[in-house]
Structure formats: structure tokens, C-alpha cells
């Protein structure tokens, strides 16, 4: 077998050596094969999407733009989404171009179909059986995440995260949100987004970091990420990864990601360092309900290492 391969390579080299221009011909043929292969994959992907979504009624779709042209970007995009939700009360697909689609869920039973399942089995609820099957196909076409994982890893992640949403853990944060609301009511005009970001940061990181509005780099980076993610959805050429990452928008997105990760990694590393202190670790283990960050950092996972640091700086 090796002899045949080497002989084939030698034949090609001899053929190219006789005429240098043949190198360009060979390159063109290889590029053509690559393009054809990608085209076939994209076509198959589109067929799978159409098959999975055929039982879900939705707004009219443009042959090229999908539903992107329905969003004018004038601050009334949510009004359009609300209009569709009233017209399609259970679930409906929204297309961004020909190959990117999001399924909006409006019905609690449809949401339960996703959230109340385990392993490779789905929780089949009293809905139209055909719609349920198609909905499963839609989910399986998506990327892996907490809601779309299967088997042991899904149970493992859910077991780790569930304690973090216990009433006893969330209750102390009510006063934090109330305080921010009072500041907005009696103070000068503020942007509600800033206070939402502040509360989310403090609740996620157990108020360990003295976050303030003066942290302009972090705040601006979060706003930049929000803008860039939405812009990529609306601008169809940016659906192609190569084009996006070579563009100025792609570079701005990566820069903002690096800034945000640097800030959050700093908090996580500081907490990791404190957990190395046996007295601090013992104090945390004795708590009735762990804080959300501590649950992730000090998670007991089956028979694996007793204390597995799940969150890393990478």
C-alpha cells in the first residue's frame, strides 16, 4: 500500500516537473473539488433544516435574506417579534439568511420538551407527535450546550448547576437588586442596562469583586460584544466565519472578548487562590448552600477528583 502511494506521488511530481504551469491547473482542480464539497454539505444542511422545520408555521421567508429584512434596526425589532409570537403562539422559526435559523418558543410545553428530558430520551408531552419529533430534530441540529447535551454529561452539569439556583442562594440577591432599583428611582437619569450588568456581575461572582461604573473597559467591551453579535446576524456575509474573522468587526469582537475574559478570569483566579486555604475551603464546605461561583469551583463530581475546578482561565 505504501509502495503504491509513493509511486503515485512520484508520478505526480514527474508530471508537474515537465511543465510548471500544470501546478496552477492542479491547484485549480483542488480548489474546485473543495468548493463542490462545501456546496454539497451546505445543500445537505439546508435540506435537513427544511425537513426539521416543515411542521412549524412561521413568517414568510425571503429566498435570500430570510426574515432579516423584517428587522429595520430602528429600535422596534422586539415589536416585530411580539407580533409573530401572537400570530404563532407555540413556536416559530426566524431565518437570518438561508442557513441560519432560530426557533422561538412561546409555549410552556415546548420548553418542557427541551428542559425536562434526560439522556438520549425525550420527554414526550401531549402535543402533536409529529411536531414534537420535528422539534427534536431542530434541537439536535444545534450546537452542544447545557440544554442540548445528552447522557452522563447532561446529568452531571445539571447536578452541578441546580444548587446554584436554590431559593436560599438567590434570596440574598433580592436586596442587591432592590438597592439598584432605588438608586435609579431617586437618583439622576441612568441607563438601566448599566445596573442590569452590575447586578448580573455581582450575582455571578458573589460580589467578590468591587465592580463599579468606572470600569469603562469592561462595560464598553460588553456593549461592544452585544453590538457585534447582533450586527453579525443581520449582515449576511458575516455568516461565513472566514470573512467575519478577517474583517474589522471580527477583530473588534475578539478584542472585546479578550478584555471581558481578562476581567472575569482575574476574579476567578483570586477566588481559586483563596480556596487553596484549608480554613477557607472548610468554611465553604460547611455552608448549607454554596454560592454560585463556589459551586462551580468546588464541585464534587462522582468518583472523580473530590474537588474539581471547573472554571479555568482558558
271-298 pLDDT, tens digit each: 777 777 766 667 766 665 566 677 677 6
The per-residue pLDDT for 111 is 80
Beta strands in 138-238 (DSSP E): none
Residue 249 contacts residue 241 (beta carbons within 8 Å): no
The per-residue pLDDT for 206 is 59
Q: What is the mean pLDDT of residues 70-94?
A: 84
How far is Cα 103 from Cα 314, in angstroms, rounded to an integer?
31
- Give the DSSP letter of residue 103: E
Q: Write the Ramachandran bin of 66: left for phi over 0, alpha for psi from -120 to 50, otherwise beta.
A: left
pTM over 0.85: no
Residue predicted with more confidence, 136 or 60? 60
Q: What is the mean pLDDT of residues 168-197?
A: 74
Beta strands in the chain (DSSP E): 91-96, 100-105
Across 57-66, 147-156, 179-188, 237-246, least confident range = 147-156
Q: All 3 cell numbers of residue 265?
A: 478570569
For the four alpha carbons of 161, 167, 169 and 174, in that order, the dihedral sign comes to: positive
Beta strands 100-105 and 91-96 are antiparallel
CA angle centred on 168, ends 165 and 172, rounded to 5°? 95
Pick from 151, 155, 137, 133: nearest CA to 125: 133
- Give the DSSP letter of residue 95: E
Amino acid at each position: 500500500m505504501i509502495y503504491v502511494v509513493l509511486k503515485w506521488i512520484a508520478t505526480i511530481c514527474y508530471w508537474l516537473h515537465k511543465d510548471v504551469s500544470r501546478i496552477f491547473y492542479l491547484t485549480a482542480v483542488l480548489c474546485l473539488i473543495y468548493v463542490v464539497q462545501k456546496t454539497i454539505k451546505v445543500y445537505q444542511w439546508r435540506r435537513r433544516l427544511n425537513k426539521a422545520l416543515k411542521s412549524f408555521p412561521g413568517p414568510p421567508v425571503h429566498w435570500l435574506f430570510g426574515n432579516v429584512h423584517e428587522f429595520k434596526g430602528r429600535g422596534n425589532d422586539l415589536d416585530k417579534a411580539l407580533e409573530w409570537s401572537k400570530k404563532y403562539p407555540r413556536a416559530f422559526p426566524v431565518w437570518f439568511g438561508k442557513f441560519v435559523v432560530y426557533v422561538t418558543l412561546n409555549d410552556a410545553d415546548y420548553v418542557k420538551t427541551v428542559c425536562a428530558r434526560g439522556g438520549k430520551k425525550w420527554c414526550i408531552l401531549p402535543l402533536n407527535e409529529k411536531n414534537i419529533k420535528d422539534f427534536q430534530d431542530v434541537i439536535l441540529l444545534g450546537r452542544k450546550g447545557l440544554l442540548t447535551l445528552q447522557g452522563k454529561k447532561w446529568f452531571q452539569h445539571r447536578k452541578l448547576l441546580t444548587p446554584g439556583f436554590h431559593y436560599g442562594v438567590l434570596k440574598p440577591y433580592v436586596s442587591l437588586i432592590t438597592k439598584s432599583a432605588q438608586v435609579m428611582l431617586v437618583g439622576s437619569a441612568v441607563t438601566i442596562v448599566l445596573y442590569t450588568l452590575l447586578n448580573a456581575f455581582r450575582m455571578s461572582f458573589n460580589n467578590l469583586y468591587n465592580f463599579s461604573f468606572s470600569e469603562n473597559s469592561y462595560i464598553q467591551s460588553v456593549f461592544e460584544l452585544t453590538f457585534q453579535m447582533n450586527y453579525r446576524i443581520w449582515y449576511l456575509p458575516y455568516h461565513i466565519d472566514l470573512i467575519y474573522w478577517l474583517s474589522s468587526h471580527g477583530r473588534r469582537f475578539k478584542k472585546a472578548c479578550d478584555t471581558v475574559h481578562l476581567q472575569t478570569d482575574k476574579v476567578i483566579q483570586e477566588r481559586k487562590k483563596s480556596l487553596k486555604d484549608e480554613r477557607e475551603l472548610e468554611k465553604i464546605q460547611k455552608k448549607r448552600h454554596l454560592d454560585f461561583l463556589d459551586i462551580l469551583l468546588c464541585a464534587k463530581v462522582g468518583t472523580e477528583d473530590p474537588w474539581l475546578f471547573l472554571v479555568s482561565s482558558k
